[in-house]
Amino acid sequence: MPTLPDFRLETYFAKWEFNARYHLTASDAQTHTVSDLLALADDDGRARWESLALGYTETRGLPALREEIAATYTSASADDVLCFAGAEEAIYLAMRSLLESTDHLVVLTPNYQAAETVPLAVCEVTGVALRAEDNWALDVDAVERALRPNTRMVSVNFPNNPTGAVPSLESWLDLVRLCDERGITLFSDEVYRGLELNREPLPQATDLSGTALSLNVMSKAYGLPGLRIGWIACRDRVVLDKLERAKHYTTICNSAPSEVLALIALRARDHLLTRNRRIVADNLPVFTDFFARYPDLFEFTPPDGGCVCFPRYLGPDGVERMCADLVEQAGVLLLPSSIYASALTETPTDRFRIGLGRHNSTEALAAWSNWLQKRR
């Protein structure tokens, strides 16, 4: 198989994520300390934590954790859930083990890079662009036009990273129906589900289709990336068996402490998601006011869901230069549009990703504003 290219986002973060003073492009919601999380534990969760033995765990995941994950779906049981070390392992193994070299995949752009580059190392891939001029709307007709007789999978991510787009319920149901009618597996990255502010979350793919895969993780909406616990829910047991055998060659099993902490967090999920939605809701007017002060430099549209979005930069220096100068001179980290460039479609070159899910945004925006004033 072809060698995978550098993961642009992670390469960029390796340089800046822990060195920049203000991480204004964070893709996860504000996290908790272990003590905060343990304070939310029920009696069973605390007993599991205090008596935890640090041995190997079950490849598919702690049974109680899989039961709690299944409770977040309407049509899945614990046997329909397989846990992974974060979402990235799940994406990697799903694309590597479920696709053959003779297959074809359709993926939406812009996207989380692994959704594009991992399948490209296996088979032919066609991109279908979410377009800024259409408010990043899902175009099911465009997806259908991209299908081929050998299309094996359609890969989507909603709420979308980096745009924050969420399709209409009608479009979403049309896409699920299209995949089912054509016998195509729908791979649905749903890691930001639960952070919608003014609309109901979309039904999860695995609840709508017996063959669809729903990807989720503790990292994004729950704000617990340090746990490194993700999962795929799928009611096709043959698919889960393939993924389990593939996992034997990577992590084998998950961290026992992380599984117990994830169980505690999921049992308190209403509290966590309500708190993280409140952070995003409190940040939105702050960001809106900031961008409104510079109408000659920025176009800002709030996300439909999730805690990231993709504003436009209008300055003459271009977004790449602006982001580089901003982090080097003011310590404010953004992700320029080159991080989301696609080999499959044209993607915007005047956008940057910001994160709306952290507490320190006011201080970061003040540093950004001071920097802008000095440049004028």
Residue 1 has pLDDT above 60, yes or no: no
Q: Is it true that 8-33+270-375 and 52-267 share their CATH fold?
A: no
Sorting pLDDT into bands at 50, 70 and 90, what band is 375? confident
Domain ranges of the chain: 8-33+270-375, 52-267
Residues 219-238 pLDDT 10s:
999 999 999 999 999 999 99
What's the confidence (pLDDT) of residue 2? Answer: 65
Fold of 52-267: Aspartate Aminotransferase; domain 2 (3.40.640)
Residues 298-352 pLDDT 10s:
999 999 999 999 999 999 999 999 999 999 999 999 999 999 999 999 999 999 9
Q: How far apart are CA 155 and CA 80, in angstroms?
A: 19
- Full 3-state SS string of the chain: CCCCCCCHHHHHHHHHCCCCCEECCCCCCCCCCHHHHHHCCCHHHHHHHHCCCCCCCCCCCCHHHHHHHHCCCCCCCHHHEEEECHHHHHHHHHHHHHCCCCCEEEEEECCCCHHHHHHHCCCEEEEEECCHHHCCCCCHHHHHHHCCCCEEEEEEECCCCCCCCCCCHHHHHHHHHHHHHHCCEEEEECCCCCCCCCCCCCCCHHHHCCCCEEEEECCCCCCCHHHCCEEEECCCHHHHHHHHHHHCCCCCCCCHHHHHHHHHHHHCHHHHHHHHHHHHHHHHHHHHHHHHCCCCCEECCCCCCCCEECCEECCCCCHHHHHHHHHHHHCEECEEHHHHCCCCCCCCCCEEEEECCCCCHHHHHHHHHHHHHHHC
Q: How far apart are CA 14 and CA 10, in angstroms?
A: 6
Q: What are residue 153's DSSP bridge partners?
A: 105, 185
Residues 106-134 pLDDT 10s:
999 999 999 999 999 999 999 999 999 99
Fold of 8-33+270-375: Aspartate Aminotransferase, domain 1 (3.90.1150)
Residues 260-294 pLDDT 10s:
999 999 999 999 999 999 999 999 999 999 999 99
What's the confidence (pLDDT) of residue 321? Answer: 98
What's the confidence (pLDDT) of residue 72? Answer: 98
Percentage of the chain exceeding pLDDT 70: 99
Within 10 Å of residue 3's Cβ, how many Cβ atoms? 5
What is the rounded average pLDDT for all residues in the chain?
97
What's the confidence (pLDDT) of residue 360? Answer: 83
| C-alpha R_g of the chain | 20
Residues 9-68 pLDDT 10s:
999 999 999 999 999 999 999 999 999 999 999 999 999 999 999 999 999 999 999 999
Which pair of structure tokens corresponds to residue 80? 């329909």
Of 294, 154, 157, the C-alpha closest to 212 is: 154
Which residues are within 8 A (CB) of 171 and not within 5 positions of it... i.e. 6 or more apart?
137, 138, 140
What's the confidence (pLDDT) of residue 102? Answer: 98
What's the confidence (pLDDT) of residue 241? Answer: 98
Range 84-100 average pLDDT: 98
